[in-house]
């Protein structure tokens, strides 16, 4: 087993030799995505020397290669099903992952990044809302309260600066959240074998962002440090985080995980504080308390 698979702790070939994993454990595995996703802002400080789509192309390429190794045992499933069916969820992931990133980057041309991030972070609430409409979740008052508190906590963390009114920017930021929320709902409803889903999806994302780069940006030769940082982003917040989320979200308490995702900007801010890149503030503490309360209210029913 590769060291990356050991790091993620959820290699399918490994799990086949274990007894069935409880939904609670899968929920914890899905929650691992939150601190892994949270490393992206700190790592991205070293990748700013590259144009956005060039950087995403490199990140998605690394993620595809890493996941190709992790998911290799699952690729055998593809031989038992039609050759094109596994590409459906892979395409859905590519649209969700790269579509979300592209819409977010385009939104920042019209509104500040913090504002775009806040609007995009409506996606956990979108998951709960769409899931309830489709009958995947049963929302009670405390669940709705948890969703509202989670967004309020994220808003507190990201508050600052003046609000920029741009319907184009706000719409693009909203589409960023919608793209990922719809993919997550899709993964809850798609029951067929997916093979090496994430490796395929990141490969498609690489192609999409590569095309966008060639059409919209000049090419820049990154420094060794910038390329290394992009590689780490591809391994940690891209490959490992999405693998943990995909497994945990489908097999664990997806409703709770959707609300817990609001903690991503909190963990990110804490990491930046520990690294000395951001100062500790009362806003950070209040946001942490509000998001923690949201998670307690949104726990699964006994």
Domain boundaries along the sequence of the chain:
23-297
Q: Tell whether the model's pLDDT for residue 87 goes beyond 70.
A: yes
pLDDT of amino acid 161: 54
Share of the chain above pLDDT 70, in %: 81
Distance CA 103, CA 182 (A): 14
Q: How far is Cα 77 from Cα 229, in angstroms, rounded to an integer?
A: 33
Query: For all residues of the chain together, what is the average pLDDT?
Result: 80
Q: Can you give the pTM of this predicted structure?
A: 0.81
pLDDT in tens, 16-60: 445 677 888 999 999 999 999 989 888 888 888 899 899 999 999
- Per-residue pLDDT of 121-143, as tens digits, reads 888 888 888 888 888 877 778 77
Compare 76 and 281 and report the one with higher pLDDT: 281
Q: How far apart are CA 36 and CA 130, in angstroms?
A: 26
* Spatial distance between the Cα atoms of 254 and 64, rounded to a whole number of angstroms: 25
Question: Inter-axis angle of helices 224-233 and 52-70, to 10 degrees?
Answer: 50
Q: Tell me, what's the pLDDT at 164?
A: 61
């Amino acid at each position: 087993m590769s060291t990356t698979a050991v790091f993620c702790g959820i290699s399918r070939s490994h799990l086949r030799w274990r007894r069935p994993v409880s939904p609670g454990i899968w929920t914890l595995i899905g929650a691992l995505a939150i601190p892994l996703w949270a490393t992206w802002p700190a790592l991205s400080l070293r990748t700013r020397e590259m144009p956005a789509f060039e950087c995403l192309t490199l990140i998605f390429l690394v993620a595809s290669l890493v996941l190709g190794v992790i998911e290799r045992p699952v690729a055998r499933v593809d031989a038992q099903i039609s050759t094109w069916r596994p590409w459906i969820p892979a395409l859905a992931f590519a649209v969700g992952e790269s579509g979300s990133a592209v819409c977010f980057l385009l939104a920042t041309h019209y509104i500040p990044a913090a504002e775009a991030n806040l609007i995009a972070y409506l996606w956990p609430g979108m998951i709960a809302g769409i899931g309830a409409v489709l009958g995947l979740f049963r929302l009670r008052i405390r669940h709705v309260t948890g969703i509202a508190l989670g967004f309020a906590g994220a808003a507190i963390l990201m508050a600052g600066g003046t609000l920029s009114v741009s319907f184009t920017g706000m719409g693009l930021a909203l589409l960023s959240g919608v793209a990922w929320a719809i993919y997550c709902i899709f993964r809850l409803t798609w029951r067929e074998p997916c093979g090496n889903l994430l490796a395929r999806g990141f490969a498609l994302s690489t192609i999409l962002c590569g095309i966008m780069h060639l059409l919209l940006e000049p090419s820049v030769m990154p420094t060794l440090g910038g390329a290394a940082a992009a590689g780490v982003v591809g391994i940690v917040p891209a490959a490992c985080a999405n693998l943990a989320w995909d497994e945990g979200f489908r097999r664990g308490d997806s409703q709770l995980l959707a609300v817990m995702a609001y903690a991503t900007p909190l963990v990110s801010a804490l990491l930046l504080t520990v690294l000395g890149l951001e100062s500790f503030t009362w806003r950070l503490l209040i946001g942490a308390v509000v998001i923690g309360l949201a998670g307690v209210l949104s726990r699964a029913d006994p």
